[in-house]
């Protein structure tokens, strides 16, 4: 099948590469000349485990990048178009770029022969407000391409595991009003559904809402466990024990019940804000979602509060080491990352900050420049630091040499924002230890 992917970010590049891997003729399109040049040169603009190897293997199909969606070439004849919209800053999603792409596709396909139903399909892959699918169809018709079908196909990819999620999806959700369109997408996804995972067909509005509802539920679980962790700190309970006690209840389960410094990334923050905005537009206050958002904002200050309480008035002038800058392991994405909120608070308090992250250093340097010290290895960040703060639970941070840590740290204090270490062993090693919800123990 011929497929055009418009946008080569996390979703676009992973989608295009995986579809090429399954034998489709894929053309990727992006209006960012830096991305175009990088892809033509054999590089990729993001870090995603395994993606560089897949792109290289499918270079003739997946890395044929053009500079605009209306350009003549393979994209003009593509049977299925996918497009992404930029991350909204807050509240209502900004669909300006989405509609611009829709207009360009409509103009490009204005003179194309109509063909049978499902011959040409524009697929919205990104998270867009409910009703966007219908608006795109209207714009395509206004641009002279009423014969082009529009479908919704929300993505459920986790950064750091996106290839696995695409190749072995839990489910595929398709929103369309025409069975011919759903059959086109069923054929496209057939290689990835051989283990009998469900292919769910529904209305475009239901498909659009499904993505928001899924992210809202996952964000709710995170904010819930963070509130329980903070309560455990006050009451002397250990959230790790509580998590086990409730996680074995099959109605609840363990996924997303890990306390920490708040959620970040490109999905949960904007999608929670967007669903609140959708409720506001329909005069339905979504009080639970508002609380989830507020809890997460407050949680991003929990580590700084613990640091402030430990050092008191002597905090200014201290040096702190941070391990982990990306919003989660196995990605270089720092959008809405809790580490950024902590860095801002520490710098505002007059603290010198030394940082290390396996993949996100360049992105952080682009924001902070020389205001931080960037260590190319974890132990390098510890040299002369008064304390270590673990913000992102990269696997390489889980089993460090604690004796080396003790020698390098001026102060033997660890603020464990992800509960990767156990309090009592850390205390036995001579560290002053602070976790999240570990009963208020040092």
User: Which tokens is 60 given?
Assistant: 């003739």
What pLDDT was estimated at residue 115?
81
Domains of the chain: 2-202 (3.40.50.720), 204-442 (3.40.50.720)
What pLDDT was estimated at residue 76?
34
Residues of the chain under the 70 pLDDT cut: 60-91, 440-442
Distance of alpha carbon 239 from alpha carbon 274, whole angstroms: 30
The distance from CA 221 to its chain's CA centroid, rounded to whole angstroms, is 16
Binding-site residues:
30, 35, 127, 156-159, 211, 256-260, 264, 270, 328, 335
What pLDDT was estimated at residue 441?
53
Using N-to-C axis directions, what is the helix angle for 268-281 and 287-299, rounded to 10°? Answer: 150
pTM metric for this prediction: 0.88
What pLDDT was estimated at residue 131?
94
What pLDDT was estimated at residue 41?
86
Distance of alpha carbon 291 from alpha carbon 223, whole angstroms: 9
Q: Check residue 88 and report its DSSP letter.
A: P
Residue at token pair 């086990």: 244
What pLDDT was estimated at residue 65?
44
What pLDDT was estimated at residue 118?
85
**For the stretch 306-323, what's the b/e string if a residue is b when 16 or more beta carbons lie within 10 angstroms of its beta carbon?**
bbeebbeeebeebbbbbb
CA distances to 99, 137, 178, 362 from 116, in Å: 25, 17, 12, 49
The distance from CA 113 to its chain's CA centroid, rounded to whole angstroms, is 39
Distance of alpha carbon 172 from alpha carbon 201, whole angstroms: 9
Distance of alpha carbon 134 from alpha carbon 83, whole angstroms: 15
* Beta carbons within 10 angstroms of residue 198's beta carbon: 11
Q: Is 18 a catalytic residue?
A: no
Catalytic residue among 18, 28, 232, 267, which?
267
- Strand 352-356 versus strand 172-175 pairing type: unpaired
Binding-site residues for substrate:
156-159, 211, 256-260, 264, 328
CA atoms within 13 A on the CB side of 357: 27
DSSP-assigned states of every residue in 361-382: HHHHHHHHGGGSEE-SSHHHHH
CA atoms within 13 A on the CB side of 290: 8
What pLDDT was estimated at residue 389?
98
Q: Which residues contact 15 (CB under 8 A, 6 or more apart)?
A: 5, 82, 125, 155, 166
Distance of alpha carbon 94 from alpha carbon 92, whole angstroms: 6
């Amino acid at each position: 099948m011929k497929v055009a992917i418009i946008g080569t970010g996390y979703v676009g590049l992973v989608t295009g590469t995986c579809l090429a891997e399954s034998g489709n003729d894929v053309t990727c399109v992006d209006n960012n000349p830096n991305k175009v040049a990088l892809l033509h040169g054999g590089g990729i603009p993001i870090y995603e485990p395994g993606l560089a190897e897949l792109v290289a293997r499918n270079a003739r199909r997946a890395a044929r990048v053009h500079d605009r969606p209306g350009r003549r070439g393979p994209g003009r004849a593509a049977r299925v178009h996918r497009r992404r919209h930029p991350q909204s800053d807050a509240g209502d999603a900004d669909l300006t770029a989405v509609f611009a792409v829709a207009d360009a596709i409509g103009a490009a396909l204005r003179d194309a022969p109509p063909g049978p139903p499902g011959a040409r399909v524009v697929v919205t892959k990104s998270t867009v407000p409910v009703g966007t699918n219908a608006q795109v169809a209207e714009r395509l018709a206004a641009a002279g391409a009423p014969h082009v079908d529009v479908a919704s196909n929300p993505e459920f990819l986790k950064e750091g595991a996106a290839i696995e999620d695409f190749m072995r999806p839990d489910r595929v959700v398709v929103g369309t009003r025409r069975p011919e369109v759903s059959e086109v997408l069923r054929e496209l996804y057939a290689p990835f559904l051989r283990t009998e995972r469900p292919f769910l067909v529904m209305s475009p509005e239901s498909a659009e809402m499904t993505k928001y509802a899924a992210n809202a539920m996952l964000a709710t679980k995170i904010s819930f466990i963070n509130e329980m962790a903070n309560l455990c700190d006050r009451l002397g309970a250990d959230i790790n024990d509580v998590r086990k006690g409730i996680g074995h209840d099959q109605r609840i389960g363990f996924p997303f019940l890990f306390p920490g410094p708040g959620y970040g990334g490109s999905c949960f923050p904007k999608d929670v804000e967007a669903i609140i905005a959708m409720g506001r537009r329909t005069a339905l206050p979504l009080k639970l979602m508002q609380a989830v958002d507020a809890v997460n904002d407050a949680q991003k200050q929990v580590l700084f509060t613990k640091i402030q309480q430990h050092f008191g008035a002597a905090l200014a002038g201290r040096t702190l080491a941070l391990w982990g800058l990306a919003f989660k392991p196995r990605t270089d994405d720092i959008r809405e990352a809790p580490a950024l909120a902590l860095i801002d608070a520490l710098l505002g308090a007059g603290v010198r900050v030394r940082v290390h992250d396996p993949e996100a250093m360049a992105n952080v340097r682009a924001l902070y420049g020389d205001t931080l010290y960037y260590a190319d290895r974890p132990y390098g960040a510890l040299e002369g630091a008064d304390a270590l703060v673990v913000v992102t639970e990269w696997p390489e941070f889980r089993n460090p040499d604690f004796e080396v840590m003790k020698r390098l740290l001026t102060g033997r204090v660890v603020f464990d924002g992800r509960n990767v270490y156990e309090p009592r062993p850390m205390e036995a090693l001579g560290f002053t230890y602070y976790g999240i919800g570990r009963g208020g123990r040092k």
